[in-house]
């Protein structure tokens, strides 16, 4: 009924919102006295919450709601829009079951059954001296940590004496891993008692450029509310990082945040060096940004599709690399050697081009999109506990110290610390991308066949 009064249709995600908020214990009290809802923009997150709370105001005498948002102006705007919608639903002022008050920024809706919904600024002072059955904090991801702390200190006591009290925190991901939305989201993901969670968030290892992920993660698309063409345009205009955050609810990223969880990395690590197939493998190289070290790695997929990576060589400097790669290209007919065509990698490529009697056709300059696809492949395989790799100090260190970085529409590997060498991991992910397109045949050989 409340959704109809707001002139909205409850899509499946809206029904999930209502089910979460309305879940009850046997005694009728809220199953979740606190609820956190993470959902991409334009997917009816806020309107579904408002419809649920409006239903309470219309049916529960004396029910009181206080709502806020990222600032006082937006909090007022959200409630003012709701009030205007209700006025249009009940055009006859004399028959309305509510009064809509707007004066000097003080906006509230008072219902004939004694229920009341008002808004306030996101500060402790806005809550002091009040009481409420429900507090709604919308766009909570936009609140900085200090404001969040102040808000919690002022808001929670407002609910203390109400037996059916509930606090609702909602929004899209914050820019940093701190603040009220992040804290409640993390607690909900861990399964905290009496904290309900509805979380439409992509995992960090997933590829946000993959449109099939959009259908999976963004309910606005899967419900038919938003067209695919709209999302494509949003991706084009906003860029990868902003799009991932706003529509796919990607957790905050930072250079200090580890891209590969230790548990996932160790899950498929083996003790001994791996065996290589007779063919259908790929090699890639990468040089540290400052040229202090360089790595060569190999990757392949077994006939049943299991991915493998191994570091072939990792040494200081990169003066040794042209000769090393030249021998590989000469001894391994048809070998494909990939590299990101930037910096010192290009210098190695140019040196090999001048080397006589070395096959050049196997050298493959990779585009940024291809490098990014290699990152997506590797992180996905690691998350699925599928990537087989042997213990290797250089590769293990790189996995522990790698972060994500974003360049235009590409997600790449970056360094958590400026002094860290992640070239072994970059070489491995590039090789993995090349190996993914190869067919599988032949028996297996020991790794030393191509070690020089």
Question: What domains can be seen in the chain, in order of their start residue?
Answer: 2-200 (3.40.50.300), 262-449 (3.30.420.280)
Q: Among 134, 138, 136, 128, which Cα is nearest to 115's?
A: 134
pLDDT in tens, 154-190: 899 999 999 999 999 999 998 888 899 999 999 999 9
The mean-pLDDT minimum among 31-35, 129-133, 264-268 falls in: 129-133
Percent of the chain whose pLDDT exceeds 70: 95
Model confidence at 213, pLDDT cuts 50, 70, 90, reads very high
Instruction: Return d(Cα 91, Cα 101) in angstroms, integer.
Output: 16
Q: What is the pLDDT of residue 321?
A: 95
Angle in degrees, 0-180, between the axes of helices 45-59 and 72-89, rounded to the nearest 10: 60
Instruction: Return d(Cα 21, Cα 413) in angstroms, integer.
Output: 39
Q: What is the pLDDT of residue 309?
A: 96
Q: 199 forms bridges with which residues in the sheet? A: 38
Give the residue-averaged pLDDT of 233-239: 92
Q: What is the pLDDT of residue 407?
A: 87
CB count in 10 Å sphere of residue 408: 10
Give the residue-averaged pLDDT of 24-42: 95
3-state DSSP assignment of residue 448 = helix
Asked if the model's pLDDT at residue 247 lies above 60, the reply is yes
Higher confidence at residue 279 or residue 45? 45
Model confidence at 204, pLDDT cuts 50, 70, 90, reads confident
Q: What is the pTM of this model?
A: 0.77
Q: What is the pLDDT of residue 166?
A: 97
Q: What is the pLDDT of residue 450?
A: 39
pLDDT in tens, 77-109: 999 999 999 999 999 988 999 999 988 778 999
Higher confidence at residue 452 or residue 334? 334
- Average model confidence (pLDDT) for the chain? 90
């Amino acid at each position: 009924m409340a959704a109809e009064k707001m002139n909205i249709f409850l899509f499946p995600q809206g029904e999930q919102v209502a089910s979460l908020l309305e879940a009850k214990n046997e005694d009728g009290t809220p199953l979740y006295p606190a609820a956190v809802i993470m959902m991409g923009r334009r997917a009816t997150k806020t309107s579904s919450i408002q419809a649920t709370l409006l239903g309470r105001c219309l049916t529960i005498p004396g029910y009181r709601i206080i709502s806020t948002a990222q600032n006082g102006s937006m909090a007022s705007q959200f409630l003012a829009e709701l009030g205007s919608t209700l006025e249009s639903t009940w055009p006859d002022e004399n028959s309305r079951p509510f009064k809509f008050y707007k004066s000097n920024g003080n906006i509230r809706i008072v219902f004939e059954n004694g229920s009341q919904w008002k808004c306030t600024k996101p500060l402790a002072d806005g809550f002091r001296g009040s009481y409420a059955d429900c507090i709604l904090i919308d766009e909570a991801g936009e609140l900085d940590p200090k404001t969040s702390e102040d808000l919690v200190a002022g808001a929670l006591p407002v609910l203390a004496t109400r037996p059916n009290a509930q606090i609702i925190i909602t929004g899209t991901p914050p820019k940093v891993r701190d603040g009220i939305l992040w804290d409640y989201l993390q607690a909900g993901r861990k399964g905290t008692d009496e904290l309900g969670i509805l979380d439409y968030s992509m995992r960090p290892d997933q590829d946000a450029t993959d449109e099939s992920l959009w259908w999976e993660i963004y309910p606005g698309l899967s419900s038919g509310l938003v067209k695919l063409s709209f999302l494509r345009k949003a991706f084009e205009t906003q860029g990868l990082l902003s799009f991932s955050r706003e529509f796919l609810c990607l957790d905050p990223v930072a250079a200090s945040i580890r891209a590969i969880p230790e548990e996932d990395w160790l899950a498929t690590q083996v003790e001994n060096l791996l065996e290589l197939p007779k063919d259908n493998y790929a090699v890639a190289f990468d040089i540290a940004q400052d040229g202090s070290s360089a790595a060569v790695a190999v990757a392949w997929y077994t006939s049943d599709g299991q991915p493998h990576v191994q570091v072939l060589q990792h040494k200081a400097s990169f003066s040794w690399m042209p000769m090393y790669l030249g021998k590989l290209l000469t001894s391994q007919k048809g070998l494909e050697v990939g590299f990101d065509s930037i910096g010192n990698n290009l210098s190695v490529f140019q040196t090999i081009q001048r080397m006589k009697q070395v096959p050049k056709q196997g050298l493959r300059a990779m585009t940024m999109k291809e490098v990014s696809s290699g990152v997506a492949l590797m992180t996905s395989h690691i998350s699925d506990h599928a990537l087989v790799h042997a213990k290797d100090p250089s590769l293990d260190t790189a996995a522990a110290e790698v972060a994500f970085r974003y360049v235009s529409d590409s997600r790449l590997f970056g360094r958590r610390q400026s002094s860290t060498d992640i070239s072994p991991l970059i070489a491995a992910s590039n090789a993995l991308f090349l190996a993914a397109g190869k067919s599988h045949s032949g028996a297996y050989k020991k790794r030393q066949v191509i070690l020089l």
